Structure 1
């Protein structure tokens, strides 16, 4: 007996090593073209892949890199840089992969050499394979929003699903992909289209308040309920899906809006008080438990932090998360995106730059022309933006060169915000945080309507940049933004 125990003790390290090697995944990569500073790759935590929970590696001067990670489940690993995906790898425990990334050839930018190479190629041809390549549920629902018959919607969704999965079925039959590979893809596609179905029901719910819904209340409620009947959130397959967070988000909307009958006006009032994120987390705690809850809260905080609205509420929620989950693996992913929120609120303690000027009495104006004329400039470069607009805030990174150019041309900088009244405090705080030198105007209802007429499109896509003369007349309705400063220089010469 003692001899057997001794042999077992001696064998344990070897068993442990074998198990570790079996679960290892090795990715050897090569960059062709412009080499990015880093390659970011998603980390499958308990098998779940989420675009925000990543690690990174720096390629060498020749573009070579190597990634080693551990997973005991077949999983998705997305390789990207600054939220721009190079491609998605379907990785199986114990396998090695050779990846070729071409940063200058869009048609052949991602190739994987492995025993399931054909499956990798087919999956990366999907335009909706992940959130960062345009695969959000709401985008998919555009294909079905005009349908007013539930049966037709279900048929179309199923047809879209079958069209995508049929190629993988063929590869499985030909033994060019493994059963684990196929099962993950099948689950991924299934949850994506079920998520799109739930999103379509949600959009009909929102449109019903404006009498623009194509489905009746009974129809969209039943359509929504059927999603979670066929694909419940307790299904273990959901925990291997990149759509986990967005699917759970849709589920919580269904619970709150349909079953609890919470009104959008009530939610709007909560938002105005700066408590909407706290409310959403409390709703999640009513319906989720264990690892699902931990994962959802972490993903929620991350997603809202990177939106750059800098809500102070997120700081409280992050501190609360750390207390509730002090050993959570997600804390290290959240800290980098919380730091800018902290910096934003520290900035508010500093004095306002004297070159940031908030125009007065704009509530009395009905025409943008009169507002600009009142500023008494010679020419105006106008940036139309909003605090919730991510691309608008991306443009602010290039403002130093913009201000230098405008000064050389004696052009006055004007920022026009289309934010609502309850966003006034955040509007001024963002102007301070981004150090937006120039005149600032926030539209009233009539100015907003005039802006849309001048733009020529009632939906008013922003950021929108235009040039106006000293009388407020538009000289050029479409000017380049600060990020395209060389183009802007040419446009200003022409004008």
Structure 2
């Protein structure tokens, strides 16, 4: 009898502690092709750490695109499906369904109204709305405009809540996200206007910033989607603003600090001054990785990481940061080596146009890569170079890289050539070349959008000034085979 009672006791405990599964199912109704996968970026201990903690979900053995997890509290996640980024508040014990067609992506199932609202709203990004505030000289003008933008979003959210179309927990999460979005926008406008020489009164600006941070503090339990960006604005960028007005440096000197790799050391001191350790750890981790992924390879990031690892030896974030720091270490190891003989150079100081460069190519076919060391998409394409080199060799093409970097970045240009193993011919374009290229070969008006790729035949003719990227190797093959 006692065994039956023991069994019953265990069964009751198991039943009470069993967790229901939270799931996301993608239904693909695309006419052009069915989706094979989607990606999810989830928080790491309540924050999105750049694009880390990203999972790719493939069709299961039943042909269904489905993600399942057990969570004890809500998470704000990002879903990348069919090249579209979506937001979703993932709540415990909820099942979400996203139907994807050629023209729409619509949530159904539990809390679908709130999920669709979260993705329908057009958040004001500082780069896209700044002109609205450019000529404002009085703080109250900025506050009034931001309140107006916020009210448009809040009005719809409150209607959904009042009509019981979303549950109370979701409403609180979305309201927090709205509040912090516009609090951050207010601070961003103040800081950007000051930096570009269109400031409002400093004392009034400081008063507004202090009031905003007090009303919407960084130390909160349920963090909004862009908490890390907000924290950097609230703490680091705000401190830059104060230091400029206290005469510690100018914005021009601040830019110079970045160019000389001194800014990270300065910012690290600001981060270390944060008294609340949880905020310090999260912002420190985000600051390191958000700089590291830009691929400027600042040596000071190695020191910043070592200090972080020493201060937080058991941090959950270390496993995500370390691979990026290892890349930087590898960078310095490689650039200290001799320039490989597989890299050839053409002096571009007296070459003022592409037509002047072509005769130096000796009547051979070339795939041209126009790039710069500061161009992230350019560097991203370099990872496809092995396949590109193989394809070009197959069709007797050579490769030339034309950098539009300024002359004072010559050493950095050469370092990047070594680090990325850019086998081929290289030239650093002079201002005359850049001007001529902008006028006669660029794909955009009054400027150059890079990376840009061209194909030149063995007679010196430009076959294409809009050739496929290395990442689109199959499309490039179709052109080269002709």
Deviation at 1:191?
A: 1.8
In structure 2, do the counterparts of structure 1 residues 280 and 121 end up closer, same or farther at CA, with 3 Å as the change threshold?
same
**CA separation in 2, counterparts of 1:338 and 1:81?**
29
Contact 1:99 1:110 in 2 (8 A): no
Residue 237 of structure 2: SS of its match in structure 1? helix
Residue 439 of structure 1: SS of its match in structure 2? strand
**CA separation in 1, counterparts of 2:272 and 2:177?**
25
Question: Which residue in the other structure is 2:90 paired with?
Answer: 91
Question: Which residue in the other structure is 2:208 paired with?
Answer: 226
Task: Say yes or no: does 1:126 pair with 2:109.
Answer: no
The partner residue of 1:484 within 472, 475, 482 is 472
Task: Say yes or no: does 1:168 pair with 2:157.
Answer: yes
In structure 2, do the counterparts of structure 1 residues 317 and 31 end up closer, same or farther at CA, with 3 Å as the change threshold?
farther
**CA separation in 1, counterparts of 2:210 and 2:15?**
41
Question: Which residue in the other structure is 1:8 paired with?
Answer: none
Question: Which residue in the other structure is 1:429 paired with?
Answer: 415
In structure 2, do the counterparts of structure 1 residues 17 and 161 end up closer, same or farther at CA, with 3 Å as the change threshold?
farther
In structure 2, do the counterparts of structure 1 residues 381 and 69 end up closer, same or farther at CA, with 3 Å as the change threshold?
same
Unpaired runs of at least 5, structure 1: 1-10, 129-134, 209-215
Deviation at 1:416?
A: 1.6
**CA separation in 1, counterparts of 2:385 and 2:334?**
18
Task: Say yes or no: does 1:29 pair with 2:17.
Answer: no
Contact 1:44 1:75 in 2 (8 A): no
Question: Which residue in the other structure is 2:97 paired with?
Answer: 100
Q: Map residues 413-452 of structure 1 onto 2, 5 A cutoff.
A: 413-452=399-438
Q: Which deviates further from its counterpart, 150-159 or 250-259?
A: 150-159
**CA separation in 2, counterparts of 1:145 and 1:440?**
44
Deviation at 1:297?
A: 0.8
Question: Which residue in the other structure is 1:462 paired with?
Answer: 450
Deviation at 1:385?
A: 1.2
Unpaired runs of at least 5, structure 2: 1-8, 29-33
Deviation at 1:463?
A: 0.8
- String of CA shifts for 1:63-86, please: whole Å, max 9, x gaps: 3544334444x441223479x665
**CA separation in 2, counterparts of 1:217 and 1:39?**
42
Contact 1:369 1:473 in 2 (8 A): no
Task: Say yes or no: does 1:245 pair with 2:228.
Answer: yes
Contact 2:367 2:454 in 1 (8 A): yes
Q: TM-score, normalised by structure 1?
A: 0.79
Question: Which residue in the other structure is 1:312 paired with?
Answer: 299
Contact 2:57 2:67 in 1 (8 A): no
In structure 2, do the counterparts of structure 1 residues 68 and 57 end up closer, same or farther at CA, with 3 Å as the change threshold?
farther
Task: Say yes or no: does 1:67 pair with 2:68.
Answer: yes
Contact 2:47 2:223 in 1 (8 A): yes
**CA separation in 2, counterparts of 1:16 and 1:273?**
60
Moved over 6 A (4+): 14-18, 469-473
Task: Say yes or no: does 1:285 pair with 2:272.
Answer: yes
Deviation at 1:296?
A: 0.5
Task: Say yes or no: does 1:198 pair with 2:187.
Answer: yes
Question: Which residue in the other structure is 2:4 paired with?
Answer: none
Task: Say yes or no: does 1:76 pair with 2:76.
Answer: yes
Question: Which residue in the other structure is 1:138 paired with?
Answer: 126
CA-based RMSD of the aligned residues comes to: 3.7
Contact 1:310 1:344 in 2 (8 A): yes
Residue 363 of structure 1: SS of its match in structure 2? coil
Deviation at 1:225?
A: 5.5
